[in-house]
Chains A and B, each alone.
Chain A
Amino acid sequence: MKPITRAALAAVVAAAFCGAAWAQAKSAADGIAEYRKMLEDGNPAELFEAKGEDLWKKKRGPKNASLEQCDLGKGPGVVKGAFVELPRFFADTGKVQDLETRLVHCMATLQGLDAAEIAKTRFGQGEMANVTALATWVASMSRGMKFNLSQAHAEERRSYEIGKRVFFFRGGTHDFSCAACHSADGQRIRLQDLPNLTKNPGDGIGFAAWPAYRVSNGEMWSMQLRLNDCYRQQRFPYPGFGSEITVALGTYMGVNAKGAESIAPAIKR
């Protein structure tokens, strides 16, 4: 994206937020809804969607293969509707996987790329940037669909129970947990509305909004990066990419969001 465009976009969003600050009656949510509307036809996430679709179809890696045979849970190559059912249990790995860990699994098995190496790569760089673009495209293929995670498999139920415990885990220098900010309705940090993630927080809110394009830093953020930065602000140590607790948190939030309509990839402050 051209810097000038990004600056213009930031200005629009800043204006939306200043507006919200200026008139207290107007909440941050109204501001967000307003600029989302303004940018309806121009969410920069589209660029990442296009990149992701290319990456899905392109022959790459040591095996020179595309990802078109990747099974995201609904059978090899089925992308539509996959996002709103993840995380889910996969028989071939014997594990519950979220979108990003499943994509990395496919990149490793189908294309011969090094999964451990990808997991170690910084967000926004190298193959990790590709995982984010792929996740953005896959999510976009379920836009407007409702979250409906399975709890049929024992591992899926276990993942939910682990995720719930992780969500309420207090620690660190500030005694924070996910629940400290995300277990009540109608609360804010500064002007930022906080979704209550212990239940369905509503269409396109919380789990149903990520991946999202973040205007403030001009980056595309996946769910894994969203969780990573939550933990940074919680003053916790560093969660491994695709680590079990991050997937379990996805299961917890995803199951709770049952019936919420996905707007991912969304656009955020």
Chain B
Amino acid sequence: MNTRFALIAAAAGAAVLLAGCATGPSKAELDQQAMALMKASFRDQGIAKVDRLNQDLGQAACSTDAEVSDEVAERIRNEALASIRWPAGGQYFGNWIDGERIAQSGRGMTWTDASAETRNNGGNCYNCHQIDKKELSYGTIGPSLWNYGKLRGITDVTAPTAAPIVQYTWAKLWNSKAYAACSNMPRFGHMKVLDEQQIRHIMSLLLDPRSPVNQ
């Protein structure tokens, strides 16, 4: 073997080793390893199958403490907006009593729940939001929704002037990522956590001037 070549090869090898010592795996390698370990570490249990680890664009892009680029954020918002199913017959409202019940419930979709049907699921709303002031046990991850409709000037939900707020609220509940790409709020309609009728009830809770939330 050519001695000079061997020397160069050895030096190159040593350089690679040294570089390896100094830096360890690259960021991209760690990303890959973490994904592989996620897949290897979980198993199906009841209704919670491992396919829940298959990330869509937004889940993947928002799995970091870094800012998502404007371009990706816009794509996520646009896709989310396009995914929204508007209520059948233009009927946006139900009743706030059922809305309050759904807002209170944090149940559903875990591996200890028997079925993923929407009627078994709650909205988890109070876990993160203040809503009716009478409920003292509320979370603070999301903003307060007390007087949600009143603060937005809703005196009649059917008035044309109310339409932008009504539609925004529906869209936010259906797919929260339409307005904030990495929102911590679940996409209740889009992910089939809640159905149209359940969302109508929550709409009433938040927007109806007669709802306890707007007193």
Contact A158 B30 (CB under 8 A): yes
Task: Identify which of B1-9, B35-43, B152-160, B201-209 touches chain A.
Answer: B35-43
Q: Does A91 contact B (CB under 8 A)?
A: no
- Say whether, besides A158-B25, A165-B31, A165-B63, A236 and B128 are in contact (CB < 8 Å): no
In the complex, the number of residue pairs spanning A and B with C-beta atoms less than 8 Å apart equals: 144
B193 located at the interface, meaning its Cβ lies under 8 Å from any Cβ of chain A in the complex: yes
CA distance A6 to B124 in the complex (A): 29
Given A183-B65, A240-B43, A243-B40, A235 and B52 contact (CB-CB distance below 8 Å): yes
Contact partner, B110, options A22, A165, A188, A235, Cβ 8 Å: A235
Q: Is the CB of A170 within 8 A of B109?
A: no
Measured between beta carbons, the chain A residues less than 8 angstroms from B58 are 170, 175
* Contacts known (A236-B53, A238-B48); A169 close to B139, Cβ less than 8 A: no
Asked if B63 contacts A190 (CB within 8 A), the reply is: no
- Known interface pairs A174-B186, A180-B184, A236-B48; A21-B30 also in contact (CB < 8 Å): no
Closest to A155 in B: B24
Q: B186 to A240, Cβ gap below 8 A?
A: no
Bound-state CA distance A237–B49 (Å) is 5
Contacts of A165 in B (CB 8 A): 30-31, 34, 63
Report if A246 contacts B (CB, 8 A). yes
When distances are taken between beta carbons in the complex, the residues of chain A under 8 Å from B30 are 158, 161-162, 165
Residue of A nearest to B188 (CB): A174
Residue of B nearest to A242 (CB): B41
What bracket does the count of chain B residues touching chain A fall in?
35 or more
Given contacts A170-B55, A187-B139, A236-B48, contact A162 B37 (CB under 8 A): yes
User: Which residues of chain B from 32 to 75 have a CB within 8 Å of any chain A CB?
Assistant: 33-34, 37-38, 40-45, 48-50, 52-55, 58-60, 62-65
**Bound Cα distance from A211 to B119, whole angstroms:** 36
B15 to chain A, nearest CB (A): 18
- Given A157-B24, A162-B30, A244-B41: A171 and B52 within 8 A (CB)? yes
**A136-174: contact bitstring with B at CB < 8 Å (1 yes, 0 no)?**
000000000000000000100110011001101111111
Q: A169-B34, A236-B53 are in contact. List 11 more A-B contacts (CB 8 A).
A: A158-B25, A161-B25, A162-B37, A187-B139, A188-B139, A189-B127, A190-B127, A237-B50, A237-B53, A243-B42, A245-B41
Q: Please list the residues of chain B having a beta carbon within 8 angstroms of any beta carbon in chain A.
A: 21, 24-25, 30-31, 33-34, 37-38, 40-45, 48-50, 52-55, 58-60, 62-65, 109-112, 116, 124, 126-128, 136-141, 184, 186-187, 191-193
